[in-house]
Amino acid sequence: MIHESIAATQAVVTLDVPLPDIFWGWFVTMNMWAKSIGTGLVFMLFLLMKKNPDEMKGLRTPTLIVSFIMMNVFLLFTLADLHQPFRMWHIFFYPHWTSAITVGAWMATVFVGLESLMIVVMLRKDKCLLTKNSTGFFDKLLFWVTLLAIPVTLYTAGIMAEATARELWQMSTESVQMILAATLSGSAAMILLGGSKLSDKTRQFFGAILGLSALMAFIIYMSEYIFGGMKSEEVIAILSNIKGDGDYATMFWIGQWVAYILPMLLVALARVSNSSNLLNLASMLAIVGLWVIKHVWLVIPQLLSLS
């Protein structure tokens, strides 16, 4: 390991002015967090349609509207993070298809367009020109929107993978984390949104998705935490920020507890005691904690000096 040579060389950088540390800050965290909820709600609505379509009554439009709002929050923060936001249209007129940013922007735009169509269909109902059976049309569209939600969720992992300088972000783990973030936050949002419209059984079903998503995401983070540095010196240096007295160690563990550990425990308790309140609390913690952990994982690779 090269850093072991420092003991012999006593090498110290005495002049270098590298780039400012963090280029992708909390605007990008907001982007990922909001997109997770937006696509996650679509996944959950689709699952509800397959599992118990009767309970979709009264949930189709509100769920889609919340997803639509979150997707627009995602787009807003994406735009706001650009240094030249008024040139956003370049992505559509000068697209560069090797870039996950381009592919993602196109897919997210189509996704939001389809969501708008579904909302219009439900709000206009009998006045809808497309079909008189608005619910049936909505459900057919939901299948295609759910399919599209998968790559829309995953493309951020593609961007992170294309960020060659950031060794910590690997496509395989990040794509699984993106899907788990969507199922975690989507199930949590659905539990809160569904409220009394969902039966206890269905709420417990979404609770199980929440708990399992939290468990799997936690396992992956812990795997990275413990084993990540065993194959790459850069990853050791990056992970040192969340270990010991690292600058982001406290925030990392707050995120792990709030997003994953506590929701897992609360979901288990809620199943034993059949408590809606515990499930609601688990959901709220998961949504808040997800933001924290996404932020930590976004920032720490940027703290590594590249020169």
Q: Does 5 bind other proteins (CB under 8 A)?
A: yes
> Which phi-psi region, left, alpha or beta, contains residue 276 (left: φ > 0; alpha: ψ -120 to 50)?
alpha
> Which residue in the set 20, 57, 129, 231 belongs to the binding site for other proteins (CB under 8 A)?
20
Q: Does 264 bind other proteins (CB under 8 A)?
A: no
Q: Does 50 bind other proteins (CB under 8 A)?
A: no
Q: Are the C-beta atoms of residues 149 and 42 closer than 8 Å to each other?
A: yes
> Which residue in the set 58, 88, 200, 227 belongs to the binding site for other proteins (CB under 8 A)?
88
Q: Does 87 bind other proteins (CB under 8 A)?
A: yes
Q: Does 16 bind other proteins (CB under 8 A)?
A: yes
Q: How far is the CB of 302 from other proteins (least distance, A)?
A: 8
Q: Does 95 bind other proteins (CB under 8 A)?
A: yes
Q: Does 127 bind other proteins (CB under 8 A)?
A: no
Q: Does 233 bind other proteins (CB under 8 A)?
A: yes
Q: Distance between CA atoms of 174 and 220, rounded to whole angstroms?
A: 10
Q: How far is the CB of 145 from other proteins (least distance, A)?
A: 24
Q: Does 94 bind other proteins (CB under 8 A)?
A: yes
Q: Does 82 bind other proteins (CB under 8 A)?
A: yes
C-alpha angle 55-57-62 in degrees, rounded to nearest 5: 110
Of the pair 134, 302, the CB lying nearest other proteins is at 302
Of the pair 45, 299, the CB lying nearest other proteins is at 299
Q: Distance between CA atoms of 63 and 47, rounded to whole angstroms?
A: 13
- DSSP string of 219-283? HHHHHHHHHGGGS-HHHHHHHTTSSTT-TTHHHHHHHIIIIIIHHHHHHHHHHHHT-HHHHHHHH
3-class DSSP string for 187-236? HHHHHHHHHHHCCHHHHHHHHHHHHHHHHHHHHHHHHHHHHHHHCCHHHH
Applying CB under 8 A, which residues contact other proteins?
2-3, 5-6, 9-27, 80-85, 87-88, 90-91, 94-96, 98-102, 105, 159, 162-166, 233-234, 237, 299, 302, 304-307
